[in-house]
Amino acid sequence: MVETLQVGGLTVAHVRPSLVTGPPVLFVHGIFVDAREWSDWLVYFAARGFPAYAVNLRGRAGSRPGTRLGAVSVEDYVADAVEVAEYLGQPAVVGHSMGGLIAQRLAALDVVRSTVLITPAPPRGIILFSRELLFSQVKYVPHILFNRVIQPDHAALRRLAMNRAPASVQERALAELVPDSGRVGRELSVTGVSVDARRIRCPMLVIAAEDDHFVPARVVAKIAARYDATLHVIPDRGHIVTMEPGWEVLADDVARWIAEHG
């Protein structure tokens, strides 16, 4: 059963294993979502002996109430994840999309023992660009420039992130979407977020999805190359590979890798 605990001002979803056989695992969600993205993974990992935690980054699900969401930065989100990582004591970290970029920063800050990036947003120096993504962001320009709250565009996300998900998964994912920060949107798509690869010493696994229109596999391959990390490419899957049918196979691969590198 998924429980909730408070770490500082943050709300953290948690599932306790009946018998602990692996290290704690911290899951970090992407843009426009919250810890609910990881609900199935928390149960799955706890059943395999891992204390499983998913942070709700500030401005959602009761984390840091009163946050001016539009002005929140990626580094603010990193600070949230660091606080939970330090509370857990060198967990493994699994980050999806924007959460994958946050996980890169946690690795560079040496607060995690191993890192798994799933269809991750790239750091500064690796360009995230596609014509379709560019056109979908035009409507957000005033929000990005002036630190306003961004509301998720359901139609664009269906095309870019949910193109491989069946209708039932799309509807669940759309129902769980939340607003996010215009400043974060600017940092992810324009100015970038710096990660010092020289500071990353922990093992890293990078996972791309072959038919990802949001963070294409070619971009994810560059991320893996930057860190000299192992790259796995999942065929016939899109950006929300964490929720698409067959996610259990991916979760099992991730759990096995964490156990081997824990």
CA-based nearest residue to 186, from 107, 75, 37, 58: 75
pLDDT at 143: 80
**Which parts of the chain sit beneath pLDDT 70?**
129-137
pLDDT at 262: 73
pTM for the full predicted model? 0.97
pLDDT at 134: 56
Q: Beta partners for 93?
A: 26, 115
pLDDT at 128: 82
C-alpha–C-alpha distance, residues 103 and 200, integer Å? 11
pLDDT in tens, 13-60: 999 999 999 999 999 999 999 999 999 999 999 999 999 999 999 999
C-alpha distance from residue 6 to each of 54, 56, 255 (Å):
11, 10, 25
pLDDT at 135: 55
pLDDT in tens, 135-147: 566 777 778 887 9
pLDDT at 129: 61
Six token digits for residue 48: 């395999």
pLDDT at 136: 65
Domains and CATH numbers, the chain: 3-260 (3.40.50.1820)
Query: How many residues does this entry show for the chain?
Result: 262
CA-based nearest residue to 100, from 237, 245, 256, 229: 229
Q: Strand ranges (DSSP E) for the chain?
A: 3-7, 10-15, 25-28, 52-55, 92-96, 114-118, 149-150, 180-181, 204-209, 230-234
